[in-house]
Amino acid sequence: MEKSKRLMALDAFRGLTIAAMITVNTPGSWSHVYAPLLHSKWHGCTPTDLVFPFFLFAVGVAMFFSFGKFNHQLNAEAGKKILKRTLIIFGIGLLLNAFPFVHIKMENLRIMGVLQRIALAYGIGSLLCLVLNKARLLYVSAAILFSYWGLLYFLGGDHPYSLEGNPTIAFDTMILGASHMYKGFGITFDPEGLFSTLPAIVTVILGYLTGALISKTEQKRIVPTLLVFGVLGFVLGLVWNIWFPINKPLWTSSYVLYAAGLAQLVMAVMIYLIDILNYKKWAHPFLVFGMNPLFIFVLSVVWVKVIIYLVHFTDKSGGILNGYAWLYKNAFASWAGPLNGSLLFALSHIIVYWLIVLYLYKRKIFIKI
């Protein structure tokens, strides 16, 4: 199988992931969301909890093919590229946290976030992948996952994997400061914090190793090989879950294996359909998303913040609604009901964003960092 064909499946996988990410992040109302489109309240894993690790996994797979031009060795050019990309992605994440710059004070600015985690996991993961051979990458990944488990267990309280008792809070508070952390769980706890980014690096490494596996495996054996490793990761994650619960906010080691296993299974199916059976038309919408993933993610965040913080309407009772709530209420919930209206609100945004990236795709405009 040619490298370009493999990357077509990767781009479709990445596009599917980014479309899912925007869908679950943009319901019309968080009070009216179908259960599969919500994150687990704490332990456990819903389809929504797989979106972020799938994206990080795709980052790792893409890294393997991208680093081919450096012969998978760390040199000055590769190091410069990694550092530049890491800083830019992290900086964009910070700017998104502050945007639209009228409602936030710097002393309360959240430092971490989705893009910041992507940046750090990519940056550190890239260096490890270029410095270590594949066998040592496996050893280091295992060491990270087991060390993270031990650190949480021994440094935590009586309930080290609970929201209140996990030690990531103390570590992140010490480094970041409580005023710069997420408060959405009702306490100061950052689900994209520094401590829990450690196992997220392994998610990227597993993607890189999967890219290497795809590259060196005969075409007829790629799908069964991915299926075997996917099932292995999935089962190991479930077994580890007995002692170290699958948990996205903590990005637990069992969650890393469980999500990576499922990502390999999904990728195997997409490679089989797109590259082997040559069924490509169904994947075209996802391929379009996959060619400009970070751009469309940033655009989606900017748009939502604009209509929440800068656009306001007065309803019939004289109350003030932000543009987000007004759009949901009047354009969707008014005729589709609160639950279906909330879903249609998200899907309509996906359609609009797709039309934007389709315009870029047809003109071969690919915004890369």
* In the chain, domain spans: 3-362
Contacts of 49 by beta carbon, 8 Å cutoff, 6+ apart: 39, 40, 248, 255, 259
User: CA dist 106 to 98, 100, 187, 263, 357, Å?
Assistant: 8, 13, 20, 38, 33
Per-residue pLDDT at 39: 93
Phi, psi values for residue 133, rounded to 5°: -75, 175
CA-closest candidate to residue 237, choices 75, 33, 44: 44
Cα–Cα distance between 195 and 172 in angstroms, integer?
7
| Cβ 300 vs Cβ 30: under 8 Å | no
Cα–Cα distance between 40 and 60 in angstroms, integer?
25
Using DSSP's 3-state secondary structure scheme, residue 110 falls into: coil
User: CA dist 242 to 165, 191, 255, Å?
Assistant: 19, 22, 12
* Number of neighbouring beta carbons within 10 Å of residue 358: 16
User: CA dist 55 to 14, 24, 121, 260, Å?
Assistant: 6, 14, 11, 10
Per-residue pLDDT at 318: 73
User: CA dist 148 to 68, 78, 160, 196, 358, Å?
Assistant: 31, 29, 12, 8, 42
CA-closest candidate to residue 192, choices 180, 204, 208, 207: 180
User: CA dist 256 to 182, 198, 244, Å?
Assistant: 22, 11, 11
The conformation of residue 44, written as its DSSP 8-state character, comes to B
Cα–Cα distance between 136 and 146 in angstroms, integer?
15
What are the tokens at 103? 């409602």
Per-residue pLDDT at 2: 40
The alpha carbon torsion through 205, 209, 210, 216 (nearest 10 deg) reads 160
Per-residue pLDDT at 7: 65
Task: Name the pairing type of β-strands 312-314 and 320-322.
Answer: antiparallel
Residues of the chain falling short of pLDDT 50: 1-5
Model confidence over 299-348: pLDDT tens digits?
Answer: 999 999 999 999 988 877 777 889 999 999 999 999 999 999 999 999 99
Residue reference for tokens 């209509």: 307
Per-residue pLDDT at 275: 86
